[in-house]
A and B are shown apart, each in its own frame.
Chain A
């Protein structure tokens, strides 16, 4: 087990190095720091001095990949690549490109808490609601309830999440005036602001997930042990809840686990629509403001979270299913 975890970590680091190189290639080679400077300073006439100043302020004035003039190992270390990579792996994210005062690490820390407040309840409720709906459909399989349930799922997954948000805000906030349209307050007040985004996000993904989980449950129901369970006279509820659901949990957790990184990163669209100051909104602001340092950091952070959550899921398997041996 320890061996497995160690190898897992080593591979994760390898992937992170790759992600780092990839983003570095995208941000520094496809377009040089000069281009970024010109874009960030803005305006038609940008002098070379301005660009040089911009670059030296942010530490981009070194060679990018390889410094031929430096002695010894400094050939490698006296580069933008080395600087950026080392600070990223040390989780020191530095400052924003566009607004120097913004410390990315600090922002990430404070905003991740807000994102968690939105995404963690959502993740749990989402799993419960989708599995419950799927179990209902599987229980009534090949009846009208199942048929219309699947039709409803297909209809729901054909509607863009943006429509759910706009209609939901209009209905619940403007017409019924139950919750504020958007905004956020820390503490217990947050519930008022988070209830609607959670509900809408849940609805927008319910169709996709319930249909997927239904297929997984039905797949499991065609197996022999289910026939045995029925043959020994178990009630259908008992078969479904005690035998099928437990076994179907493995694929369900795999697919739900794919959302784990977003529990920390938050939802881009929902946070920005509801003006919730989480990481998702942070990213959108960075993208619209063309703040490359933040986007780069978030790509790295996202990959880190993805790798960590995947490892967690694999370890969770051994706990759910003793047959699984990690090696």
Chain B
């Protein structure tokens, strides 16, 4: 039997998911909240970006189920577990992990990247060593005559994959059309409305996004068993696999750090605005204090201390994965503790305004307790600020992770992250010819993720903040009218 391992960040991520699920159940019950979220769902860009983020979330969740496999040849018969912690994603990509080359290789290559001496190394003094590009152990290993057959094979697989992707896209279209067929008066009319974007929710945008992903995934899946689709890094590891692992790191940092700011920002902000007086003074002092230290320096100071703490307490973790994970978890906590001042200021200002409103005054007059007023009347009415700030923060933190890792106060070097990939790429870009694929992969995944998060955040902000809505460039909406 495998032994499930719950890492700190796994627990936090799953708790976050449970919390989100509860939140949306609550939203469905409340008409105004549901209407506001409905506005997000009617925004084509928001829906497309949300679908993209959902896919990244799927990768994250698949990589958040960890286990340790039992060792097969345990000599004593007692069950000994592998020290290596794997995740569901690792299990799904076991082949990619096993296909480890010796060094760099370009995307889809069958040869190594740099020449190696193949034979005659220092054997006879007069015979020069022959240096040529070595054939990869796994990449293109199925080819009998790679020099001639490689291009054809890659093309054939690519086209087949693309065809499957297109088929999946078409199936998706049929599925969506059949789902709305009843309300649109038949299958044919539904398909026509879907293509012309005449549906209540922007299903066309959703379908286009998913179809694009299918078209991309098709060839990738077709190439994956026999090639390294995004090449390999210096130690021969598959770059595609590393990118997917980095997705989780970025997601965890973005989500958990944002989550960690909330108790401080919301709790202290509401307290300061509601009680005023000395409570307000103390809390204002605290957030001014935090805001006055340049963020990177404060984080660096905290992370350095975390590092010393971890070095001092090696008994806290059994495996390297647990150590890296605990460090990431503490990094999120540090980012949360150092990053709440902005939101706290907003919440405090809003609470100051709210507490003077009639319904709060009425509740006070009826003798409702302070705690209950804050919980029932104040907190729900500042939630929109919290939500907007949280989603906007998410993308910033993903970008921030890369910078922090570069500075040396980010995630553990053993944890794969975009920052680490970029850091290595810095050296690789200086080679001649350049090793560009690691860098390009990190760039592509990171831009997709941050752009998706930003566009989704904009949609959420537009839905919750009428002022932001009025500032949207309106050129296309006018054309439709």
Contact = CB atoms under 8 A, between A and B. Distances in A.
Given A166-B439, A306-B292, A160 B454 contact: no
A302 B429 contact: no
A296 B301 contact: yes
Interface in A270-309: 272-273, 283-284, 287-288, 290, 292, 295-296, 298-299, 302-303, 306-307
Contact of B312 (A14, A19, A35, A306): A35
Interface string A257-280: 000011001001100110000000
Given A142-B474, A158-B450, A269 B289 contact: no
Given A31-B312, A142-B474, A269 B294 contact: no
A147 B475 contact: yes
Contacts of A219: 467, 471
A268 B407 contact: yes
A15 B292 contact: yes
Nearest to A295: B301
Contact of B297 (A14, A150, A283): A283
Interface in B464-481: 467-468, 470-471, 473-476, 478
Interface in B85-143: none
A27 B294 contact: no
A154 B425 contact: no
Interface string B420-452: 001001100100001000010001001100110
Contacts of A121: none
Contacts of B275: none
A39 B473 contact: no
A15 B308 contact: no
Interface in A25-76: 26-27, 30-31, 35-36, 39
Interface string B7-49: 0000000000000000000000000000000000000000000
A87 interface: no
Contacts of B399: 160-161
A15 B289 CA distance: 6
Nearest to A14: B285
A288 B289 CA distance: 26
A238 interface: no
B475 A302 contact: no
B208 interface: no
A146 B475 contact: yes
A298 B301 CA distance: 10
A140 to B, nearest CB: 9
A160 B305 contact: no
Nearest to B455: A154
A200 to B, nearest CB: 14
B442 to A, nearest CB: 8
B448 to A, nearest CB: 9
B250 to A, nearest CB: 11
A283 B439 contact: no
A26 B337 CA distance: 13
B164 interface: no
B179 interface: no
A238 B298 CA distance: 45
Contact of A298 (B297, B443, B458): B297
Nearest to B428: A166
A23 interface: yes
B163 interface: no
Interface string B393-428: 001000100110011110000000011001001100
Contacts of A144: 475
Interface string B291-315: 1111011101110110111011000
Contacts of A214: 471
A303 B292 contact: yes
B311 A39 contact: yes
Contact of A146 (B289, B291, B312, B473): B473
Contacts of B434: 170
Contacts of A261: 294
B292 A154 contact: no
A162 B422 contact: yes
B52 to A, nearest CB: 12
B429 A170 contact: yes
A141 interface: yes
Given A147-B473, A147-B475, A18 B300 contact: no
A147 B475 CA distance: 7
B293 A166 contact: no
Listed residue (A27, A39, A155, A166) with the most chain B CB atoms within 10 angstroms of its CB: A166
Interface in B197-255: none
A222 B469 CA distance: 13
Contacts of B301: 23, 26-27, 295-296, 299
A183 to B, nearest CB: 14
B361 interface: no
B395 A158 contact: yes
A312 interface: no
B288 interface: yes
A144 to B, nearest CB: 6
Contacts of B296: 268
A36 B308 contact: yes
Nearest to A22: B289
Nearest to B307: A290
Nearest to B476: A147
A292 B300 CA distance: 10
Nearest to B286: A18
A148 B418 CA distance: 28
A295 B309 contact: no
Nearest to A291: B304
B450 A265 contact: no
Contacts of A268: 296, 403, 407
B471 A215 contact: yes
Contact of B403 (A150, A160, A283): A160
Given A155-B451, A166-B429, A287 B312 contact: no
Contacts of B470: 218, 222
B286 to A, nearest CB: 8
Interface string A180-217: 00000000000000000000000000000000001100
Nearest to B296: A268
A157 interface: yes
27 contacts: A18-B285, A19-B292, A27-B301, A30-B305, A30-B308, A31-B309, A141-B473, A142-B475, A146-B473, A147-B473, A149-B473, A154-B451, A155-B451, A158-B447, A158-B451, A160-B403, A163-B422, A166-B422, A215-B468, A219-B467, A222-B470, A268-B296, A290-B307, A296-B301, A303-B292, A306-B292, A306-B294
Interface of A: 14-15, 18-19, 22-23, 26-27, 30-31, 35-36, 39, 141-144, 146-147, 149-150, 154-155, 157-163, 166, 169-170, 214-215, 218-219, 222, 261-262, 265, 268-269, 272-273, 283-284, 287-288, 290, 292, 295-296, 298-299, 302-303, 306-307, 310
Listed from nearest, the 3 A-B pairs whose CB atoms lie closest are A302-B294, A147-B473, A158-B451
Given A31-B309, A166-B425, 19 more contacts: A18-B289, A30-B308, A142-B475, A147-B475, A149-B473, A155-B451, A159-B447, A160-B399, A162-B419, A163-B446, A166-B439, A170-B434, A218-B471, A268-B296, A288-B408, A299-B301, A302-B292, A303-B292, A306-B293
